Amino acid sequence: IFFRAHRFYRLMSLAVAFLLACGLFMSVGALTLHQLDAADWDMNAGRPSLALKKHTFVGFQARGCGACQKMAPLYEEIAERWSDTEEPLEMAQIDVSPKTPRVTIKILHKIMGLPRMGFFPCDACATGPIWMKWGRPGEAKEHGPFNKTDDDMAPWNSEKDCDLTPLWSSDPTPVGTCIEEWIRKQITNLHMSCSCGTPQDRDEL
Give residue-wise pLDDT tens across range 60-84: 999 888 888 899 999 999 999 888 7
- The residues facing 163 across adjacent strands are 135
Q: What residues have CB less than 8 Å from 143, skipping those under 6 apart? A: 136, 165, 168
Percentages helix, strand, coil for the chain (3-state, rounded to 5) are 45, 15, 40
Cis peptide before 155 (omega within 30 of 0): no
Answer for the pair 91, 186: CB distance below 8 angstroms, yes or no.
Answer: no
Q: What tens digit of pLDDT does each residue of 104-155 get?
A: 999 999 888 888 999 999 999 999 999 998 765 444 444 444 444 333 344 4
- Residue 160 has a pLDDT of 78
pLDDT at position 82: 87
Do the Cβ atoms of 128 and 46 come closer than 8 Å?
yes
Q: Is the pTM of this model over 0.85?
A: no
Predicted pLDDT of residue 167 = 85
